[in-house]
Structure 1
Amino acid sequence: MALLRSVRGRRLSITAVGAALLAVAACASPVGSGSTSGAACEASARPLTIATGSATGVYAALGSALASQISSSTPLKATAVQTGSTLRNVQQLSTGEYDIAFAQADSAADAVLGQGVFAEPQKIRALARIYSDYTHVIVSAASGITSMADFRGKKISVGSASSGTELIANRLLTAAGLDPKKDVSSQNLDLAASAAAIKAGSIDGFVWSGGLPTGGIADLFASDGASLKFVDISGLIPAMQKDDDVYAAGTIPAATYKTAGDIKTIALPNLLLVRDDFPAADACAVTKVLFQQKNALVAAVPAASGLDPKAAADTAPVQLNDGSRAAITQLGNG
């Protein structure tokens, strides 16, 4: 599925044959002891910082597992850092605070196009498209809310300030005909605080965008599921796609949070991002670890089952790092 082939009609090529061939040559040498299976890339021996997400979300768990695999499989020494904002991940990646960053595809698209919170195009590249996030809109069963439009006059957490969740939440409210600044009482709470607030009755509902299952949501439904419900937002997909065509129909299976039935929702891909000067050999090595060590990542974080090397290069409008393209080609999926 070419979910990320274009954003508002803009297409950027993901084939740069000459550069890819050079990167393949640069990445063909095996590393020393601890190299990944098969042909590996010769990464440098240096530290890497990976910007992830909130403590109870999938980014943090997967980032920690990925850092461990990178450190044990290559000369690189990776450390995962918990953060609270996808958009800040990208901003701080651009300024050099982080080396790799998790980001949702809509935020990444805004970054390379220089729109939304980004005053100018950001000089970033992608290592790979990874798993997809699913939008969770959760409300108190006593709130009477059955649609996004019903949030008029209600209290809602839209996620941490400048987060990917806030971006989606505000677009959802707008798609439902509401002004996020005037028609709702919104609060910028992270996932843990949102869960605590809905349990305490201080908000009517909240939005969360994350992989399946998200630990914080699973814990919330395990303890208070009888007093909560999901809102079906699938009818807003056409309106959301006017903002960004990375949005697509998705389903949260009933077994995920032990709900009465499947939940129809909106899904969008996640990307691993780097700056445009990130070394190709390091990118090649990290990309190989990501897919060659998939089983270990899935064992730590079930959402990693969504890693698919056949879709890894589908990152437009964010261009792939040449080393990542080489790795994907060597894995037989370029």
Structure 2
Amino acid sequence: MTGRPMSRRGLLLRAAVLGAPALALTGCSDDDGPGRRLRLATGAPGGPYNAFGEALATEAAQAVPRLHITALSTSASVDNLRRLGSGSVDLGLAMADAAEDAVRGRAPFAHPAAVTALARVYVNYTHLVVPAHGPVRAVPDLAGRWVATGATGSGGQVLAGRLLRVAGLTGKRSVRQRQLGLADSLEALRTGSVDALIWAGGVPTPALSALARRMPLRFLPLEEQAAALRATYGPVYTAVTLPAGVYGLTEPVGTIGVGNYLLARSRVPQQAVRDVLRVVFDRWRVLLREVTAGARLEPRFAVATGDVPLHPGAVAYYRSVYG
């Protein structure tokens, strides 16, 4: 990419233009009555999306009495986006790559979903983990082996599939996938029923830290695959680093980063969206405490939601608070 980075004002102007269809659906009135009940699709119990959603519901109840958020357990990103598209929930969390697939109507979504973004709330780090004393030393060594690639309906499974494709682990070199959530993936790795697991989440992920204290682990470097994913699928994928010190790592490990978006149906009223964002930015330390250590939520990153347009209420919030 060339040229100067786009300013926050430029990003908001772009978001306003992209969000015009949503504005037409939402209407211009902020009057949503004395109270608003919103259903938030999160993820599996004990996972980071569920932790964020439960914390957001709790903080909203204390900070904005008229706002009532119910956090619902789901299979995460793809499931959440389908629920948003069908209108069975009002808010949802999803990985950026899956969200862009949804708004474009790309597989696994049958048609474009009327989904808008409120904020990019934090970045997932991809963890490709194997036993430290096992035979797998690099990504190509996974050919023909059992790999836990994420739960059905999760964004992690979408990422894992793309990662394996750009790594050339297809055809005769395909891995044997097991579609498991994080807890089951960790147990399968511990007992040897899989040779590796692929997980995208905050750093450190507490459950992974716990396993690292029980058995030596190796985190495979993914710089080459990060570049290949970016070249194939665009800037939704970035190069990030697992820092030394986490999981007992003695040196940094390059890997793949992908954002997580807080999303809303286009028809959620603007005032409700502004209320949600006020809680998110006032209480972000609490919301991210159980999700990813050391992360910050800053507006200049929060508005960078790629091909997913900001909700008109989000545009109004950022303009009113940050100019």
TM superposition score category, shorter chain reference:
0.7 to 0.9
1:321 is displaced (CA, Å) by: 0.8
* Residue 144 in structure 1 maps to residue 142 in structure 2: no
Most deviating of 13-22 and 252-261: 13-22
Tell me the amino acid that sits aligned with residue 100 of structure 2: A
- One of 211, 231, 235 as aligned partner of 1:220: 211
* Residue 240 in structure 1 maps to residue 241 in structure 2: no
* Residue 98 in structure 1 maps to residue 89 in structure 2: yes
Contact 2:94 2:261 in 1 (8 A): yes
Tell me the amino acid that sits aligned with residue 307 of structure 2: P
1:14 is displaced (CA, Å) by: 1.1
Consecutive unaligned residues in structure 2, runs of 5 or more:
7-12
Tell me the amino acid that sits aligned with residue 159 of structure 2: I
Indicate how the Cα distance of structure 1 residues 249 and 44 shifts in structure 2: closer, same or farther if over 3 A, else same: farther
Tell me the amino acid that sits aligned with residue 152 of structure 2: A
2:241 counterpart residue number: 251
Contact 1:70 1:286 in 2 (8 A): yes
2:62 counterpart residue number: 72
- C-alpha separation between the residues in 1 aligned to 2:114 and 2:100? 12
1:13 is displaced (CA, Å) by: 3.0
* Residue 169 in structure 1 maps to residue 160 in structure 2: yes
Contact 1:62 1:304 in 2 (8 A): no
Contact 2:122 2:295 in 1 (8 A): yes
Contact 1:132 1:306 in 2 (8 A): no
- C-alpha separation between the residues in 2 aligned to 1:212 and 1:85? 18
Indicate how the Cα distance of structure 1 residues 287 and 195 shifts in structure 2: closer, same or farther if over 3 A, else same: same
RMSD: 2.9
1:18 is displaced (CA, Å) by: 11
Indicate how the Cα distance of structure 1 residues 17 and 263 shifts in structure 2: closer, same or farther if over 3 A, else same: closer
Alignment of 1:56-67 (within 5 A): 56-67=46-57
Indicate how the Cα distance of structure 1 residues 140 and 109 shifts in structure 2: closer, same or farther if over 3 A, else same: same
1:271 counterpart residue number: 261
- One of 141, 145, 149 as aligned partner of 1:154: 145
Contact 2:236 2:258 in 1 (8 A): yes
- C-alpha separation between the residues in 2 aligned to 1:212 and 1:132? 9
- Number of residue equivalences: 310
2:14 counterpart residue number: 13
Tell me the amino acid that sits aligned with residue 321 of structure 1: H
Indicate how the Cα distance of structure 1 residues 286 and 216 shifts in structure 2: closer, same or farther if over 3 A, else same: same
Contact 2:77 2:153 in 1 (8 A): yes
Contact 1:160 1:166 in 2 (8 A): yes
Identity of aligned residues (%): 35
- C-alpha separation between the residues in 2 aligned to 1:192 and 1:181? 29
Consecutive unaligned residues in structure 1, runs of 5 or more:
6-11, 30-41
SS in 2 for 1:266: strand
- One of 36, 45, 65 as aligned partner of 1:55: 45
SS in 2 for 1:310: helix
1:305 is displaced (CA, Å) by: 2.7
- C-alpha separation between the residues in 2 aligned to 1:249 and 1:219? 25
- Extract structure 1 runs of 4+ deviating beyond 6 A: 17-23
Alignment of 1:22-33 (within 5 A): none
- One of 303, 315, 320 as aligned partner of 2:305: 315
